[in-house]
């Protein structure tokens, strides 16, 4: 009897040895004459257990992890092909509490299916959203998305339905759907996981967006740091053309939608929507003034829906199950689910998709198991490099758009990076400015110059040069950047800086003498020696 | 960057080959990025000699091509070492002693960031997030992602490179 074994082909799982495990299982199976059908699935997002090997049994899939290639003979000895006990066994995958307590709407198939099998995709509910979208009027598709309460998951949280309606209502000879897959925020990997683990979902979402708005061309702007996602998407698009999910006759209905995959080239700013459009047009990724909105004048000057991967990937389910189903999850004006990404110094890092409303404490302590180092949590950066640092005494903040905004923080793309009590917050504040200096597109002065000056001013504060004056200057500089920058890069960089300063002023004490509350002078020196801005 | 781990070694600079590569992509809408990627993939970098060719084929000024080329971190303009080592310097990796890994990499490979070791073996680049933040610290070596790094693991990976030439 052939047993089905799953070893993730997800790049993060591969980064800790999944390929070697897959090879070892094949070799061991051959040696023992066992018949094994090995599937390279996506990751379940339980990254501390990767490589997570699963075996399909009559009771369901049984999980083992983290497996290394050297564990494979003992897994065979223990009878893992029948789901038997082993020291690495976690029982039924679906019963692992981290997974069982999630509400996986967008990530329902990720880690479950063979990412490139259209048969799997259909068997697990794929294409039902598209079929419904093809059966109803474009305007009804848009109302469905609007009523679901879906807001842009890239970070700006703009209501998706309203954006789509603007593109729909704008007359033009050509319209575009541009998917922002330039997932540059540190602490985020949900787009990558989804593209590697369920690429047809993104394609289906983009086709639906095209049908709804009248766009017949789509672009995925993918960061070049994701070569595995590039490979999977390239193949998925090829299959989608073959299966007529893409092309001139979508599912035999005569509707058209063509999809192109484009690689970014390592500029963080190109995650800003207008920079991304410039880049897609073959230009420097300098941001554009708004208005005009991209929905009216976007890619190549035409009306364009610019949505994040997760926004587009949420759409098929909304069409399939209806707006009310999706809106039934969440809290206040944050409807649906948010794929949160738990990262950094955390014991059980991974993807945690849940209805809005979970608190940081629940996420980090109940599900994440606290820090990886076993020390106490000191600060958490939510929402990427432009997101504020939330201090440990504010961990009861719910992870929804409004609750975070009330605390001058933001959800962004849902990345949560945990730091233990050895973190030096002045160093993190300096890094925020340094990162902005490296990645600023240079179009506006507050961002281009402000970030460079910000690094210098923080160095002076910490170096005890006119400390009080420089603290005033830092606040003033941040104020200028917030109010004077053209886009979120310069406008939000001050948030991590100011939050670090407000919550952890002791770290900004002069370095000689008492030192900062966090200690770590050696790390500071190491950080200084490795400065990347000269 | 290499978009495939099995990509063949970069070719030596050859203007005819460059022109052919450029022509393959020049008809795409907004062709400049795909063209520069193709040149980079073929030769390992975008040589100064490529700029006038790209400009001519795409009917752009050299200044326009130069402007785009220099805007993006990944379009390197000098010949890379035999192996490209990218170390993530972003927050999630910093939270897991990424700075220590970075410092070790710099010492072990014998080059600063943005540099190439004297023997031409390694180029070391900072990168800002590889999407492996739950398995930090992370690095990408020749297009292959690695996670849960520390100095010892990095040494193992480098030893593997040295075994394979």
Within this chain, do residues B60 and B88 fall inside the same structural domain, yes or no?
Answer: no
Q: Are B81 and B121 in contact (CB under 8 A)?
A: yes
Q: How does the average pLDDT of chain A come out, rounded?
A: 95
Please provide the CATH number assigned to the domain covering A118-327.
3.40.50.11540
For residue B114, the chain A residues in CB contact (below 8 A) are: 532
For an interface test with B, the pick among A52, A186, A261 (most B C-beta atoms closer than 10 Å) comes out as: A186
Within this chain, do residues B114 and B51 fall inside the same structural domain, yes or no?
Answer: no
Q: Given CB atoms, is B165 within the 8 Å cutoff of chain A? A: no
Cα distance between residue A474 and residue A139, in whole Å:
49
A262 to chain B: closest CA residue: B34
Query: Is B3 among the domain residues?
Result: no
Give domain A3-100's CATH number out of 3.40.630.10, 3.40.30.10, 3.30.450.20, 3.30.830.10: 3.40.30.10
Q: Which residue do the tokens 């999980």 mark? A: A63
Q: What is the pLDDT of residues B66-114, one digit of tens each?
A: 999 999 999 999 999 999 999 999 999 999 999 999 999 999 999 999 9
Tokens at A470, concatenated: 């420089």
Q: Across the interface, do B91 and A431 touch by the CB < 8 Å criterion?
A: yes
Q: Which residue do the tokens 């790209």 mark? A: B54
Within this chain, do residues B55 and B92 fall inside the same structural domain, yes or no?
Answer: no
Q: Across the interface, do A284 and B71 touch by the CB < 8 Å criterion?
A: yes
Instruction: State the CB neighbour count (10 A cutoff) for residue A251.
Output: 15
Q: How many domains, in total, are found in chain B?
A: 2
Query: In this structure, what are the phi and psi dihedrals at residue B74, rounded to the nearest 5 degrees?
Result: -80, -15
For A70, counting Cβ atoms within 10 Å of its Cβ (0-12 exposed, 13-18 middle, 19+ buried), the class is: exposed
Closest among A65, A43, A336, A307 to A198, alpha carbons compared: A43
For residue B144, the chain A residues in CB contact (below 8 A) are: 14
Q: What is the pLDDT of residues A345-398, one digit of tens each?
A: 999 999 999 999 999 999 999 999 999 999 999 999 999 999 999 999 999 999
Query: Is B10 among the domain residues?
Result: no
Q: What is the pLDDT of residues B24-69, one digit of tens each?
A: 999 999 999 999 999 999 999 999 999 999 999 999 999 999 999 9
Percent of chain A with pLDDT over 90: 95
For A261, counting Cβ atoms within 10 Å of its Cβ (0-12 exposed, 13-18 middle, 19+ buried), the class is: middle
- CATH classification at residue B108: 3.40.30.10
Within this chain, do residues B113 and B135 fall inside the same structural domain, yes or no?
Answer: yes
Topology of domain A333-418, per CATH? Ubiquitin-like (UB roll) (3.10.20)
A267 → closest Cβ in B29, B71, B135: B71
Within this chain, do residues B119 and B61 fall inside the same structural domain, yes or no?
Answer: no
For A476, counting Cβ atoms within 10 Å of its Cβ (0-12 exposed, 13-18 middle, 19+ buried), the class is: exposed
Query: Is B7 among the domain residues?
Result: no
Within this chain, do residues B159 and B90 fall inside the same structural domain, yes or no?
Answer: yes
Query: Is B125 among the domain residues?
Result: yes
pLDDT at A528 over 90: no
A527 to chain B: closest CA residue: B99
Within this chain, do residues B40 and B89 fall inside the same structural domain, yes or no?
Answer: no
Query: Is B77 among the domain residues?
Result: no
pLDDT at A299 over 90: yes
Within this chain, do residues B98 and B150 fall inside the same structural domain, yes or no?
Answer: yes
Q: What is the pLDDT of residues A413-422, one digit of tens each?
A: 999 999 999 9
Q: Given CB atoms, is B4 within the 8 Å cutoff of chain A? A: yes
Domain ranges, ordered by start, for chain A: 3-100, 118-327, 333-418, 425-529
Cα distance between residue A334 and residue B165, in whole Å:
53
pLDDT band at A150 (very low <50, low <70, confident <90, very high): very high
Within this chain, do residues B90 and B30 fall inside the same structural domain, yes or no?
Answer: no
B4 → closest Cβ in A227, A282, A439: A227
For residue B91, the chain A residues in CB contact (below 8 A) are: 186-187, 344, 381, 385, 417, 428, 431
Q: Are A337 and A105 in contact (CB under 8 A)?
A: yes
Q: What is the pLDDT of residue A512?
A: 64
- Could you confirm whether domain A425-529 is CATH 1.10.10.10? no
Residues 6+ apart with CB under 8 A from A18: A7, A8, A9, A10, A50, A51
Q: What is the pLDDT of residue B79?
A: 95
The arithmetic mean of pLDDT across residues A214-222, rounded, is 98
For residue B89, the chain A residues in CB contact (below 8 A) are: 530, 532
Q: Are A84 and A58 in contact (CB under 8 A)?
A: no
Q: Given CB atoms, is B67 within the 8 Å cutoff of chain A? A: yes
B133 → closest Cβ in A189, A265, A267: A189
Q: Given CB atoms, is B151 within the 8 Å cutoff of chain A? A: no
Last residue of a domain, one of B25, B46, B71: B71
B90 → closest Cβ in A186, A226, A342: A186
pLDDT at A186 over 60: yes
In total, the C-beta contacts within 8 angstroms joining chain A to chain B are: 185
Percent of chain A with pLDDT over 70: 96
Closest among A431, A533, A440, A456 to A490, alpha carbons compared: A440
Q: Across the interface, do B4 and A231 touch by the CB < 8 Å criterion?
A: yes
Tokens at B106, concatenated: 């710099």
Query: Is B95 among the domain residues?
Result: yes
Closest among A309, A292, A47 to A184, alpha carbons compared: A309
Across A262-271, A318-327, A428-437, A510-519, least confident range: A510-519
B106 to chain A: closest CA residue: A530
Within this chain, do residues B124 and B150 fall inside the same structural domain, yes or no?
Answer: yes
A184 → closest Cβ in B2, B129, B140: B129
Q: Which residues pair with A261 in a beta bridge?
A: A220
Q: Across the interface, do A530 and B99 touch by the CB < 8 Å criterion?
A: yes
Within this chain, do residues B97 and B62 fall inside the same structural domain, yes or no?
Answer: no
Within this chain, do residues B100 and B66 fall inside the same structural domain, yes or no?
Answer: no
Q: Which helix (H) or strand (E) holds A487?
A: none
Query: Is B9 among the domain residues?
Result: no
Q: What is the pLDDT of residue A511?
A: 79
Q: What is the pLDDT of residue A1?
A: 85
Domain containing B63 equals 15-71
For an interface test with A, the pick among B6, B90, B91, B147 (most A C-beta atoms closer than 10 Å) comes out as: B91
Chain B, 27-66: which have a CB under 8 Å from a chain A CB? 29-34, 36-37
Q: Given CB atoms, is B160 within the 8 Å cutoff of chain A? A: no
């Amino acid at each position: 009897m052939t047993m089905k074994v799953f070893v993730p082909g997800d790049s993060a799982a591969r980064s800790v040895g999944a390929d070697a495990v897959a090879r070892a299982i094949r070799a061991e199976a051959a040696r023992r004459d066992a018949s094994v059908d090995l599937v390279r699935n996506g990751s379940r997002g339980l990254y501390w257990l990767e490589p997570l090997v699963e075996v399909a049994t009559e009771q369901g899939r049984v999980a083992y992890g983290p497996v290394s290639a050297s564990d494979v003979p003992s897994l065979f000895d223990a009878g893992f092909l029948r789901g038997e006990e082993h020291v690495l066994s976690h029982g039924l995958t679906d019963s692992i509490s981290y997974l069982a307590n999630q509400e996986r709407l967008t990530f329902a198939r990720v880690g479950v299916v063979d990412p490139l099998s259209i048969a799997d995709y259909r068997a697990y509910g794929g294409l039902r959203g598209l079929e419904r979208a093809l059966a109803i009027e474009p305007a009804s598709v848009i109302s469905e998305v609007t009523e679901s309460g879906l807001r842009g998951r890239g970070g700006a949280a703009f209501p998706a339905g309203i954006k789509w309606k603007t593109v729909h209502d704008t007359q033009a000879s050509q319209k575009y759907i541009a998917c922002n897959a330039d997932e540059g925020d540190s602490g985020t990997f949900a787009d990558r996981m989804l593209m590697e683990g369920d690429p047809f979902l993104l394609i289906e979402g983009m086709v639906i967006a095209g049908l709804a708005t009248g766009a017949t061309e789509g672009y995925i702007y993918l960061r070049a740091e994701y070569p595995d996602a590039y490979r999977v998407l390239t193949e998925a698009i090829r299959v989608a053309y073959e299966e007529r999910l893409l092309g001139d006759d979508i599912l035999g209905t005569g509707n058209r939608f063509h999809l192109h995959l484009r690689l970014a080239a390592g500029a963080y700013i190109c995650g800003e929507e207008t920079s991304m459009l410039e880049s897609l047009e073959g230009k420097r990724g300098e941001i554009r003034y708004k208005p005009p909105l991209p929905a009216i004048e976007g890619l190549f000057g035409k009306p364009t829906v610019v949505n994040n991967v997760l926004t587009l990937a949420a759409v098929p389910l909304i069409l399939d199950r209806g707006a009310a189903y999706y809106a039934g999850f969440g809290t206040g004006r944050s409807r649906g689910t948010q794929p949160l990404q738990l990262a950094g110094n955390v014991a059980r890092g991974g993807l945690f998709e849940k209805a809005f409303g979970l608190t940081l404490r629940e996420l980090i302590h109940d599900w994440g198991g606290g820090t990886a180092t076993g020390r106490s949590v000191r600060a958490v950066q939510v929402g990427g490099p432009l997101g504020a640092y939330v201090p440990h005494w504010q961990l009861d903040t719910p992870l929804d758009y409004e609750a975070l905004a009330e605390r001058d923080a933001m959800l962004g793309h849902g990345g949560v990076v945990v730091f233990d009590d050895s973190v030096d917050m002045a160093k993190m504040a300096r890094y925020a400015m340094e990162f902005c200096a490296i990645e600023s597109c240079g179009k506006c002065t507050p961002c281009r110059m402000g970030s460079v000056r910000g690094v210098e001013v923080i160095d002076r504060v910490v170096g005890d040069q006119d400390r009080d004056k420089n603290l005033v200057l830092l606040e003033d500089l941040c104020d200028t950047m917030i109010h004077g920058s053209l886009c979120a890069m310069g406008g939000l960089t001050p948030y991590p800086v100011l939050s670090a300063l407000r919550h952890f002023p002791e770290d900004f004490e002069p370095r000689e003498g008492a030192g900062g509350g966090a200690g770590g002078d050696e790390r500071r020196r190491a950080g200084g020696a490795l400065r990347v801005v000269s | 960057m290499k978009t495939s781990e099995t990509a063949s070694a970069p070719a030596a600079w050859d203007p005819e080959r460059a022109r052919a590569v450029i022509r393959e992509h020049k008809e795409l809408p907004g062709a400049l990025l795909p063209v520069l990627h193709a040149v980079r993939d073929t030769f390992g970098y975008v040589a100064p000699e490529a700029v006038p060719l790209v400009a001519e084929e795409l009917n752009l000024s050299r200044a326009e091509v130069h402007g785009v080329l220099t805007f993006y971190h990944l379009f390197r303009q000098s010949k890379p070492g035999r192996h490209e080592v990218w170390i993530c310097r972003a927050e999630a990796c910093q939270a897991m002693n990424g700075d220590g890994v970075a410092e070790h990499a710099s010492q072990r490979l014998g080059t600063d960031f943005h540099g190439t070791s004297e023997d031409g073996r390694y180029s070391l680049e900072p990168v800002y997030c590889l999407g492996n933040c739950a398995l930090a610290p992370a690095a990408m070596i020749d297009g292959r992602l690695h996670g849960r790094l520390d100095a010892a693991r990095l040494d193992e990976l480098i030893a593997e490179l040295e075994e394979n030439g």
